[in-house]
Amino acid sequence: MKRSVLALSLAVALGAVPAAYAQTSPNADTSSAVANGSSGGADPGGTQTTPAKVKQLGTVDVSAALDQSRNALSPDTGSSQYVIDQKAIQQLPLGDSTPLNQVLLQAPGVVQDSFGGLHVRGDHANLQYRINGVIIPESISGFGQTLDARTIQSIKLLDGALPAQYGLRTAAVVDIDTKSGPALGNGGSVGITGGSFGTLNPNASLWGSNDRWSWFVTANYLETDVGIENPTSSRNPIHDHSNQVKGFGDISYLIDNDTRLSFMFGATNNRFQIPNNPNQTPQFGYLDTVDFNSADLDERQRESTRFGVLSLQGKIGRTDYQVSAGQRYSSVNFSPDEIGDLMFNGVASTIGRANRANTLQADFSTPLGDSHTVRYGVYGEFERGDISNNSLVFPANPDGSQASTTPIGIYDATNLLARTYSAYLQDEWSIGDQWTVNYGVRGDRYQLFRTESQLSPRVGLVYQATDSTTVHAGYARYFTPPATEVIDDSNIARFNGTTNQLPGTSTGNSLPLSERSNYYDLGVSQQIGSTLTLGVDAYYRQVRRLQDEGQFGTALIFSNFNYDSGRVRGVEFTANYDNGPISAYFNGSLGQALGKRVITGQYNFSPEELAYIYNNWIHLDHDQKFTSSGGVTYSFTDTTRAGVNYIAGSGLRSTGSNGIPNGESLPFYFQLNLNVAHDFTFGSFGKVKTQLAVINALDRSYELRDGTGVGVGAPQFGPRRGVYLSLQKDFDF
C-alpha cells in the first residue's frame, strides 16, 4: 500500500471530525443514554455548535458508548460463536498467566499442537486476530503468543459461515476486547507467577483516565526451562530454556462525545533453546569426526513481533465508523549447531525470515429504518517478506550417500512483495421478532507472483424459535490467500547433488495457491431454565486448493503447500452451567479433515508419498477425530474458590508401519489441571490475590507428535506435572 494512499485515507477520515463535532450537542444525561443502549452520548439532531467543555465529556460514559458503537460494527449473525470473558480466564488454573493459546483451547473444536499451535475445525492455522475490531496480521511465529491474557476483557471465537465482513483468514476469528482505563478507574497491578521447571513470570499493568485521555498498558517477562515441547517423555528436557518479553498498550483521546482517537501497540521478543533428543546416531561424518553426542547440540531460535495501530472511531449522523492504519513487523532467526546439524542432518542452515505488513482498514455501519443495518468497508494490506538461508552441506553421490566429509556453503535469499485488497457490503435484516437474515458479498484480490481474486457471497440466518431456543444456519464462499510470511521461494535446485537435496522433484510448483471453499453451518442453542445452556453445531467445508503447512527442516518454521481437493466436516457439542457458587462448561467435537493430490510444494515429498496422495484421500497431519475440554469451579466465598479443568483428544496423525502418509493416529490423551484461589487481606497493605495451580495433576506423559507424518519434525510431548503459585496485588491512585 502506497504511503500517499494511506495518508489520503486518514486525511479524509480526520476531515470528517470537524463536521461531526460542529453538529453535535452534549447529552444532558449521558449515563442514562448509555444505560438505555444508545450508541452515542450526544443527540445527532442537535443544533448547538459550541464545543463541549472538557468537564462535560464524562470520560467513562462516553468511552462506554463508543465501545458499544464499535461492537455494532462487528456482527456475528449466522456464524457460530464462543465467548470467554475475563471471569472465565481467571478461573483457569493459571488465571491471567495462562498463554493465549491455552485460553482458546477451552473453546469447542480447537485442537492443540506443538510449538503452541492451534487448529480450529480442521484448518492448520488460518486464524484471524482482531483487537478492538482491528485486524492484526498474523506473525511468522504465530501471533497467539504475542498477546498476554492480562490485556483481555473478553474473547469471542467466531467460526462457521462468517458474514461478509470477515475474510482472508477464515478458520476462525479471534475477536479480542481489551481492558480499558475508563472502565477500571485509575490504578494498576503488579504480580508474579513462579513454580516448576524454573518458571518465573513477573508482570505489571497501569490503567486510568484523566480529562479526555485514557490508557491501559501491561508488560510481563517469562523465564522457563520448558520453552518448547520436550522431544522425549522425560520430566526435564535438555537444552530447553526460554526468555520471553511481552508488552501491550492502548492509549485513547476523546475528541468529542462521538469521536475517539486511539493508538494501540504491542511487542514481543522471545528467545528459545531448541530441546535435544539424546542417544541419536550421527548419519554423516565431519572432517575427521564420526561421533557427536546429540544431547550437546546447541540450536537456538529468536522470534520477535511488534505492531502499532492508529484508529479513529466515532459516529457521523446514524453511521458508526472506525478507520485504522497500522503496521506489523515479525521476524524469526534460527541458529544451528553447525557441526552437530551437519553430522545428524547433512545440513546446517542459518535461517532468517522477516515480514513487514502495512494495513488500512475502514468499517462502517448504518441503520436503515427499523429493520435493516447496512455494514460496509474496505481493507488493504501491503507485505514485504525477506528470506535468507545460509547453509553448510556435504557433496553427495548420485545415490544420495555422502561424497566428502568437507562441507560446502550455499547461500540463498529472496524478497516477496504481496498486496491484498478487500471490500464488503452486507445487510442485517430483522424480520419480525423471530427472524434475522444477514446477506452480503465480499471481494478479495491477492497479488504476489500471480494475481488471484474472488467474489464471495455470504448468507446467514438466525431463527428465535422460542424464548429459549435459537437456531442458526449459514453459507459462506471463502477465499484464503497463502500466508505470505511462511512462503519460502528458495532455489531448491541449488541443493541438487548435496546431502540436502530434497526428496521430491525440483520441477514441482514452488509457490502456493489461494484456497477456495464452500462452507455450510447449522446449529441450535437451547436454554434450560436460567442456569444451563446446551448447543450443537454441524459444519461441512468443500475445498479446492486446500492449504496446509509443514515443518520440512530443522528450524521451527513452517512452509505451506496445497492439496488439489479437501473435505472437512464435523459436529460440536457445548454445555454451560452457572448457578450460584457453581459454574461449569463442557465441549466435545468430532471431526475429519482430508486432502488429496499435492499440487504445490511437491519437492518436500518423496515420490512414493506423492504417488499415494495423488490417488488416495489422506488425513491431514493436524486432523484429530475427537477433541474435548471442560471444567468446574466452586466458589466457597467471595474470596475463595477451587476449580478443575481438562483437555482431551484422540491424537494427531502419524505415518505408521504401513507407510500410508498420516495413516494412523497417536494415542488418546487426557490432561487434568487443578487450582485453588484465595484473596488475603493484610491490614493497610490491602488485598493480595493468590492462586495455586497444578498442571497435568496425574502426570500423564503423552505425545503430541511422534516425528512422523506429512511435514512433521521432531517428536513433541505434552507438559509433565507442574506446580505454580501466582501472587497479584491491585492498587488505586
pLDDT class of 11 with cuts at 50, 70, 90: very low
337 backbone dihedrals φ, ψ, rounded to 5°:
-90, 105
Beta bridge pairs of residue 265 = 249, 308
Among the listed ranges 52-56, 157-161, 183-187, 256-260, which one has the minimum average pLDDT value?
Answer: 52-56
Three cell numbers written together for 190: 503488579
Distance CA 562, CA 509 (A): 10
Which pLDDT does position 57 carry in this prediction? 61
Distance CA 84, CA 196 (A): 27
- Choose among 123, 112, 108: nearest CA to 478: 123
71 backbone dihedrals φ, ψ, rounded to 5°:
-65, -30
Query: What is the mean predicted confidence (pLDDT) over 150-177?
Result: 92
User: In the CATH scheme, what architecture does the domain 3-732 have?
Assistant: Beta Barrel (2.40)
pLDDT class of 53 with cuts at 50, 70, 90: very low
Distance CA 600, CA 622 (A): 19
- Judged on CB neighbours under 10 Å (0-12, 13-18, 19+), 74 is buried
> Is the CB of residue 155 less than 8 Å from the CB of residue 694?
no
**Residues near 455 by Cβ (< 8 Å), separated by ≥ 6?**
441, 442, 443
Which amino acid would we find at residue 137? P
pLDDT class of 504 with cuts at 50, 70, 90: low
Distance CA 99, CA 108 (A): 17
Distance CA 314, CA 63 (A): 10
pLDDT at residue 464 greater than cutoff 90: yes
**Please, what is the Cα angle at 124 between 123 and 130, to 5 degrees?**
80
The kind and range of the H/E element at 369 are: none
Which pLDDT does position 491 carry in this prediction? 66
Which pLDDT does position 13 carry in this prediction? 36
Which pLDDT does position 197 carry in this prediction? 96
Query: What is the mean predicted confidence (pLDDT) over 576-583?
Result: 94
pLDDT class of 237 with cuts at 50, 70, 90: very high
Helix (H, G, I), strand (E, B) or coil at 145: helix
What is the per-residue pLDDT across 374-411, written as a single tens digit (0 to 9) for each? 999 999 999 998 988 899 999 999 888 899 999 999 99
Which amino acid would we find at residue 126? N
pLDDT class of 61 with cuts at 50, 70, 90: confident
> Is the CB of residue 577 less than 8 Å from the CB of residue 531?
yes
Distance CA 440, CA 363 (A): 14
Three cell numbers written together for 222: 517469562
> Is the CB of residue 511 less than 8 Å from the CB of residue 87?
no
Distance CA 58, CA 48 (A): 18
pLDDT class of 146 with cuts at 50, 70, 90: confident
Three cell numbers written together for 703: 505425545
**Please, what is the Cα angle at 302 between 305 and 304, to 5 degrees?**
5
Distance CA 442, CA 80 (A): 19
Distance CA 253, CA 214 (A): 7
What is the per-residue pLDDT across 314-367, written as a single tens digit (0 to 9) for each? 999 999 999 999 999 999 999 999 999 999 989 999 989 899 999 999 999 999
What is the per-residue pLDDT across 529-576, written as a single tens digit (0 to 9) for each? 999 999 999 999 999 999 998 776 655 567 788 999 999 999 999 999
pLDDT class of 181 with cuts at 50, 70, 90: confident
Query: What is 322-338 written as a DSSP string?
Result: EEEEEEEEEEEEEE--H
Which pLDDT does position 64 carry in this prediction? 81
Note the helical H segments in 572-703. 607-615
The kind and range of the H/E element at 41 are: none
Report, in this order, helix, strand and coil percent for the chain, each rounded to 5. Answer: 15, 55, 35
Query: What is the mean predicted confidence (pLDDT) over 227-236?
Result: 92
